[in-house]
Amino acid sequence: MTALPRSHRLTRARDFDAMRRAGVRVRVPDRLRDLDVRAAPATCAHARVGLIVPRYKHSAVDRNRLKRRLRELVRTRLFPTLPPVDLVLRANASAYDARFEDLTGQILRLAAALGDGPPVRRVTAP
């Protein structure tokens, strides 16, 4: 088992702040129930992924289990298919109760949606 290298992860607060400002919410046709996803064009030649897993009144054991599940899915299912994009996945409260198979399906739908390239923020003229 190989972890994602640090260069392929969003780890700094300023990276997450930039995603909050410039990132576009990714909409998937068959809705992601347990994940909120934001994407922006990559600032480097490869994809980078960040995870946000809030506590939602769950124990540290539950939170760490969910983080491990999401990291594994990102590493094995999502990351190999990603175009150069910065991506932040935020777990919703329902993700704590989701089965691994449900999370896998949502990650696969996300990978298919991002296969066409990262979403672009559309700016309309006033």
Please write the tens of the pLDDT for every residue from 99-116. Answer: 999 999 999 999 988 876
**Pairing outcome for strands 48-52 and 85-91:** parallel
Is 86 within the bounds of a domain?
Answer: yes
Is 66 within the bounds of a domain?
Answer: yes
Read off the pLDDT of residues 4-63 as tens digits, 9 standing for 90 and up. 888 899 989 999 998 888 889 988 877 889 999 999 988 888 899 999 999 999 999 999
Is 5 within the bounds of a domain?
Answer: no
Domain of 73: which CATH number?
Answer: 3.30.230.10
Q: What is the pTM of this model?
A: 0.84
Tracing tokens 């539950």 back to the chain, one arrives at: 62
Nearest CA to 74 out of 43, 52, 92 is that of 52
Is 72 within the bounds of a domain?
Answer: yes
Retrieve residue 47's tokens: 């994809």
* 89 beta partners: 37, 51
